[in-house]
């Protein structure tokens, strides 16, 4: 099965660390990152999709962050 996650976070080093951790755990980048202004907080937000091939079938109870 191919698992998908969308990582999001503020435009700071914590987001870069989140993506780096996912890559270190075997996730691969999927598509280009996104960058947008959040008018509610007045800050910039980042998003990056990642995918990973894993054993087994899809289960909605699956905790993707644990893969």
From CA 65, how far away is CA 67, in angstroms rounded? 6
Contact criterion met (CB below 8 Å) for 18 and 47: no
Confidence of residue 29 (pLDDT cuts 50, 70, 90): very high
Contact criterion met (CB below 8 Å) for 19 and 60: no
Predicted TM-score (pTM) of this structure: 0.89
Domain positions in the chain are 2-57
Q: Which whole number is the average pLDDT over 37-61? A: 95
What ranges in the chain are assigned the alpha helix state H?
A: 13-24
Residue 41: what are its φ and ψ, rounded to 5°?
-110, -10
């Amino acid at each position: 099965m191919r698992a998908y996650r969308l990582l999001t976070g503020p435009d700071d080093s914590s987001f870069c660390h989140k993506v780096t951790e996912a890559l270190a755990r075997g996730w691969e980048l999927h598509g280009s990152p996104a960058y947008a202004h959040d008018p509610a907080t007045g800050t910039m937000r980042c998003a990056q999709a990642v995918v990973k091939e894993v054993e087994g079938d899809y289960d909605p109870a699956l905790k993707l962050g644990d893969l």
